[in-house]
Structure 1
Amino acid sequence: MKTILTLFFLLFSVATYAIEVPSAESKQPAKKIKNLKVMTYNIHHCNPPSAGAKIDVAAIARVITAEKPDFVALQEVDVNTERSGKGLNQAKELARLTGMNFFFSKAIDHQGGDYGVAVLSRFPILDSTRFILPIDPAIGGEVRTIAAITVEVAKGKKIIFASTHLDLKEPNRLTQAELIIRNFKENGLPMILGGDFNALPDSKVVSLLDQNFTRSCQTCLPTIPVVNPNRTIDFIMYKPDATFKSISTKVIDEQYASDHLPVLVELSVK
């Protein structure tokens, strides 16, 4: 318990990056905005499963660029690892290739570098935070984190956008979901959360999150594997209903770049 409580309150990290990448395509806060396009994408450290050990950041960037999202929640992101290249920060490179801003949140050390989740944003990043999600030491598991940014999507209208990747073990996922709910419950800002939740729509984890967030779809299409997908574990959700309304949810049939299919959601902003 002491270990878990310690993890609850580990905020920020020297291995966390929040950078705005200047681009003529980057959006500035507008006086009025109606819709937002949001993507969540587990990118498999930019390693196409059919391509051996090849790292193909450009392939992921092409998927993102083709859809022109305002926000992207990324999972399984490498920074300076041996397998991806010691000089390659995948979050930063994806931001450069897509003309977006980024924030990376480290989860674990991996092959001499960092591995975790990230967000991309067409809006300037006003604030960013990282926190570690709890793992029960009795059952073990891989450390997971959440990356959250605050942006201004219209004059005077700020929101939180976040990315996460929950653990493979359900008891850990439940405590991780509880922490996410608790940490953002009293913030007061509208929030959009995307991620690989490693949980099916009828699971206890998604049911818990459904009590506090609204999923963009209730009958959601499968997101994994990329060929003949049969499981839905990647979601975009938001709160409150008074701010956002889901217009559409699309699972993109992109079978090369990753082992997950990306999810694209269009939201209206009230």
Structure 2
Amino acid sequence: MTYNIFGARSGGIPDLQMIADVINRAKPDLVALQEVDKNTTRNSKNGDIAKKLAELTGMDYHFAKAINVSGGEYGDAVLSRLPIKEKQSFNLEVDPTLGGERRSVARILVEKEGKEFYFISTHFDHLSDERNRIKQANDFVAMAKTFNKPMIVGADFNALPASNPMNILRTFFTYGCLNGNCSQYTFSTTNPDRTIDYLIYAPLNAFTPTYYTVYTWANKESDHFPVIATFKLNF
């Protein structure tokens, strides 16, 4: 699953249990979370959101900080029902001619069926100008090429399927969407009109997506729908 949980909203997340209920209903092995606060004033009642969601779902977790904000930290996280063998955090910078927010990459190494692979969460820039997303896509591909295991990435890329940033990502990654058809809208839950959240993977022969859908029933918990996929391990 990949899920932007709307944690950066003014006033924070009103009911973290609602987010946990969505995850618990889907029962995924792995969840990529975006817009995750840690001990911020805007999410003061929730505290360490990744840790709390891990407790509410019975999963392990890893949080990666992008920036300091509202007296705490903000970034991306992953939840895992599989044993986590390694946790790593990375950053994606912005185009200096544009400016904006540094972004984070949360990476864990997990094992299933005796096979090790990386599961990653990230969140690209949201500005209308795509220069930051283009830089982040190029930098993320370069980063991923240094990783020595197959990988699945869940992300809010803030980019449409045929956009320049997604075309850059597709030089290395493959869409998890069945037949490459990412036509199900993922944003917004009040007026769905675009696809900006994805599950992608690399290398091509390491995984076979057998199921891919957007959970449109989860339309009150966040401004993004969660995206769910099932992958067959081929390595």
- Normalised by the length of structure 2, the TM-score is 0.92
Once the two structures are TM-superposed, the CA of residue 74 in structure 1 deviates from its matched residue by 0.2
Q: Which residue of structure 2 aligns with residue 21 of structure 1? A: none
4+ long deviations beyond 3 Å: none
Which residue identity lines up with residue 165 of structure 1 in the other structure? H
CA distance in 2, matches of 1:258, 1:186: 34
Q: Deviations over 1:160-200 (max 9, x none)?
A: 00000001241111111111111121323100011000000
Q: 2:221 pairs with 250, 257, 263, which one?
A: 257
1:49-128 alignment runs, 5 A limit: 55-85=14-44, 88-128=47-87
Are residues 189 and 150 of structure 1, via their aligned partners in 2, closer, same or farther at CA, if it must alter by over 3 Å? same
1:163 pairs with 2:155: no
1:219 pairs with 2:181: yes
Q: Deviations over 1:63-109 (max 9, x none)?
A: 00000101100000111111111661000000011011100011111
1:146 pairs with 2:99: no
CA distance in 2, matches of 1:87, 1:159: 31
Which residue identity lines up with residue 45 of structure 1 in the other structure? G
Q: Tell me if structure 1 keeps the 8 A contact 2:16–2:46.
A: no
5+ residue gaps in structure 2?
A: none
Once the two structures are TM-superposed, the CA of residue 146 in structure 1 deviates from its matched residue by 0.6
CA distance in 2, matches of 1:172, 1:225: 22
Q: Deviations over 1:118-163 (max 9, x none)?
A: 00111121111111102122211111111111111122x2100000
Q: Which residue of structure 1 aligns with residue 5 of structure 2? A: 43
Q: Tell me if structure 2 keeps the 8 A contact 1:46–1:257.
A: no
5+ residue gaps in structure 1?
A: 1-38
Once the two structures are TM-superposed, the CA of residue 53 in structure 1 deviates from its matched residue by 5.8
Local SS of the residue matching 1:229? coil
Which residue identity lines up with residue 210 of structure 2 in the other structure? I
Which residue identity lines up with residue 63 of structure 1 in the other structure? V
Once the two structures are TM-superposed, the CA of residue 256 in structure 1 deviates from its matched residue by 0.8
The more displaced of 221-230 and 89-98 is: 221-230
Local SS of the residue matching 2:204? coil
1:175 pairs with 2:138: no
CA distance in 2, matches of 1:188, 1:111: 36
1:229 pairs with 2:192: yes
Q: Tell me if structure 2 keeps the 8 A contact 1:71–1:119.
A: yes
CA distance in 1, matches of 2:67, 2:146: 28
CA distance in 2, matches of 1:139, 1:120: 32
Q: Which residue of structure 2 aligns with residue 4 of structure 1? A: none
Q: 2:150 pairs with 190, 193, 198, which one?
A: 190
Once the two structures are TM-superposed, the CA of residue 55 in structure 1 deviates from its matched residue by 2.0
Which residue identity lines up with residue 234 of structure 1 in the other structure? D
Structure scoring higher RCO (CA < 8 A, sep ≥ 6) equals 1
Q: Deviations over 1:178-229 (max 9, x none)?
A: 1111112132310001100000001011111111111111222011110231
Which residue identity lines up with residue 191 of structure 1 in the other structure? M
Q: Aligned-residue CA RMSD in angstroms? A: 1.6
Are residues 141 and 268 of structure 1, via their aligned partners in 2, closer, same or farther at CA, if it must alter by over 3 Å? same
CA distance in 2, matches of 1:265, 1:54: 25
CA distance in 2, matches of 1:46, 1:257: 13
Are residues 87 and 43 of structure 1, via their aligned partners in 2, closer, same or farther at CA, if it must alter by over 3 Å? closer
The percent identity for this pair of structures is: 46
CA distance in 2, matches of 1:226, 1:258: 7
